[in-house]
């Protein structure tokens, strides 16, 4: 699995710093730094178009740019399926209206099932993959705000521990 390490952390900080309104020189510089890291392959090239969900040409519930990232990982087919399930579950958190308690619960259950599947399928560097996918999924101001809203809606909630094979495929 390709590890992006410090370059990814730097890019995330640059993106967060550049999330403000306007177009001043500092924000332009941040965008240029991210573009250079993407062009050099130091970080994956992500979709930052407007909208919560982004393009999903094959309709599998995972943004196309995240599909490309997952395809580049050295995973066994069952592990790749688990990683895709997790990415799809993360994407569903953006689709869930934080004011809709049932939708939030459903998305949280999907995320729990997908996390359990990653463990069940022995996906290497599971925590690093989860962190990367969260960052890639919430890669714009709008997506990040929605993901934080989803997590706020879960604050104080209780869930049960899942067991066994929770993989979709």
Quick: pLDDT tens for 65-117.
999 999 999 999 999 999 999 999 999 999 999 999 999 999 999 999 999 99
Average pLDDT, the chain: 84
CB 79 within 8 A of CB 119: no
Closest CA to 43 of 12, 83, 89: 12
pLDDT in the model for residue 22: 52
Q: What is the pTM of this model?
A: 0.79
How many other C-beta atoms can be found within 10 angstroms of the C-beta atom of residue 156?
Answer: 6
The answer to whether 30 touches 121, Cβ cutoff 8 Å, is no
| Residue carrying structure tokens 């309104």 | 21
10: confidence class by pLDDT, cuts 50, 70, 90: very low
- Is residue 126 a contact partner of residue 154, using CB atoms and an 8 Å limit? no
The answer for residues whose C-beta is within 8 angstroms of residue 118's C-beta and 6 or more apart is: 82, 83, 86, 126, 129, 130
User: What span, in angstroms and rounded, lies between the C-alpha atoms of 165 and 111?
Assistant: 14
């Amino acid at each position: 699995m390709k590890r992006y390490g410090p370059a990814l952390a730097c890019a995330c900080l640059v993106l967060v710093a550049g999330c403000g309104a306007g177009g001043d020189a500092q924000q332009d510089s941040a965008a240029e730094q991210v573009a250079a890291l993407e062009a050099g392959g130091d970080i994956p090239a992500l979709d930052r178009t407007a909208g919560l969900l982004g393009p999903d040409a094959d309709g599998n519930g995972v943004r196309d740019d995240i599909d490309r990232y997952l395809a580049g990982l050295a995973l066994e087919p069952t592990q790749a399926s688990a990683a895709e399930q997790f990415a799809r579950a993360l994407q569903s958190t953006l689709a869930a209206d934080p004011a809709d308690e049932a939708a939030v619960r459903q998305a949280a259950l999907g995320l729990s099932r997908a996390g359990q599947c990653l463990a069940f399928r022995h996906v290497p560097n599971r925590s690093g993959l989860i962190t990367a996918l969260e960052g890639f999924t919430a890669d714009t101001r709008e997506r990040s705000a929605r993901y934080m809203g989803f997590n706020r809606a879960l604050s104080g909630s209780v869930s049960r521990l899942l067991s066994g094979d929770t993989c979709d495929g």
